[in-house]
A = this chain, B = another copy of it.
Amino acid sequence: MFEILLKNITRRIQLTSEETALFTSLLSVKKLKRRQFLVQEGEFNKYSAFVTSGCLRSYTVDKNGFEHVLQFAPQDWWITDMASFLHNLPGTLFIDAIFESEVVLIQRSGIEKLYQTIPQFERYFRILAENALVTYQRRLMDNLSLTARERYDHFCTRYPSLIETLPQKQVAAYIGVTPEFLSKMLNTGTGRKGQTETS
């Protein structure tokens, strides 16, 4: 049932079978259709979600109605509105499924129980947070110092499988350009188009 998640966890920490049982007792499963929301802006984000199939995204909508993607979460990734989840605040993000997806959910209270009974989980989530932190730092610096094309190329390098499955529009909302400009960029300039002709 929870193999993918357990495999992800045991890459960082070891659990006994009792610990595994306690852990899985805190989980639930949810299926999401394309476009279905996990949470919306303003709601309290009570769950952290681990994606077992499909792909989710978190994003904001600015005052002009444009979407800006904070994170894509394909299989084997966690996604949540961290600020809301950690500090019990109204959320600022929308999280929805880009394709039909399945996620494993855990509540804040479940995680706190884990910290108390299986301290190893402090380590697991510390490592996840540190890695995510480094990723966001790099992305921020990329946004400050690179051109749109360079940011696109970095995205292709770092997420080669996403570039093939996601609508271009979503990639544009992640790297911080309009869909129109991304399209033009790919069909004009001296382009590495990242095409994968099944030659």
Interface residues of A in 118-151 (CB under 8 A from B): 119, 122-123, 125-126, 129-130, 132-134, 136-141, 143-146
Q: Could you tell me the dominant secondary structure of chain A's interface residues?
A: helix
CA distance A126 to B12 in the complex (A): 15
Asked if A115 lies at the interface with its beta carbon under 8 angstroms from chain B, I say: yes
Q: How far is the CB of A195 from chain B (nearest CB, A)?
A: 27
Q: Do the beta carbons of A145 and B66 come within 8 Å of each other?
A: yes
Asked if A170 lies at the interface with its beta carbon under 8 angstroms from chain B, I say: no
**Chain B residue, CB-CB nearest to A86:** B130
**Chain B residue, CB-CB nearest to A58:** B137
Q: What residues of B have a CB within 8 angstroms of the CB of A125 in the complex?
A: 126, 130
Asked if A82 lies at the interface with its beta carbon under 8 angstroms from chain B, I say: yes
Q: Do the beta carbons of B66 and A137 come within 8 Å of each other?
A: no
Chain A: interface residue total (CB-CB under 8 A): 31
CA distance A92 to B141 in the complex (A): 11
**A60, A68, A125, A126 interface centre (most CB from chain B within 10 Å):** A126
Asked if A83 lies at the interface with its beta carbon under 8 angstroms from chain B, I say: yes
CA distance A92 to B70 in the complex (A): 23
Asked if A197 lies at the interface with its beta carbon under 8 angstroms from chain B, I say: no
Q: Do the beta carbons of B143 and A143 come within 8 Å of each other?
A: yes
Asked if A18 lies at the interface with its beta carbon under 8 angstroms from chain B, I say: no
Q: What residues of B have a CB within 8 angstroms of the CB of A90 in the complex?
A: none
**Option from B86, B119, B136, B139 in Cβ contact (under 8 Å) with A119:** B119
Asked if A180 lies at the interface with its beta carbon under 8 angstroms from chain B, I say: no
Q: How far is the CB of A62 from chain B (nearest CB, A)?
A: 4
CA distance A145 to B129 in the complex (A): 24
Q: Do the beta carbons of B134 and A83 come within 8 Å of each other?
A: yes
CA distance A78 to B87 in the complex (A): 21
Q: How far is the CB of A117 from chain B (nearest CB, A)?
A: 13
Q: Do the beta carbons of A137 and B176 come within 8 Å of each other?
A: no
Q: Do the beta carbons of B119 and A82 come within 8 Å of each other?
A: no
